Structure 1
């Protein structure tokens, strides 16, 4: 994906993280969430960061953290 699409990539990675969590694989979701967080920080998207933070908390709960 072209670097100009950082916000879109963050959204796709967040969606993928949700799908992996729903499929019962929170460990596989972690790298996608991490990358989405990096991209959302680069773009300054508060909405994306909030969405990613909520997903990250759900993954941590699923992992017993």
Structure 2
């Protein structure tokens, strides 16, 4: 995991401009699973984590 890459629990904006929460990182760290920040909504994936703009880090990452 890189501090510069989005990780599980982070609020991000994808390359299409959609806000999302990272819910999972699969396939050995090659697929990021995203969902809308509110509601259940459809999930979608990206294999380009560098395309995700981090809007807010997960609170769990800020805790030692």
Q: TM-score range by the shorter chain?
A: under 0.3
Q: Which has the higher strand share?
A: 2
TM-score, normalised relative to structure 2: 0.27
TM-score, normalised relative to structure 1: 0.27
Q: Which has the higher helix share?
A: 1
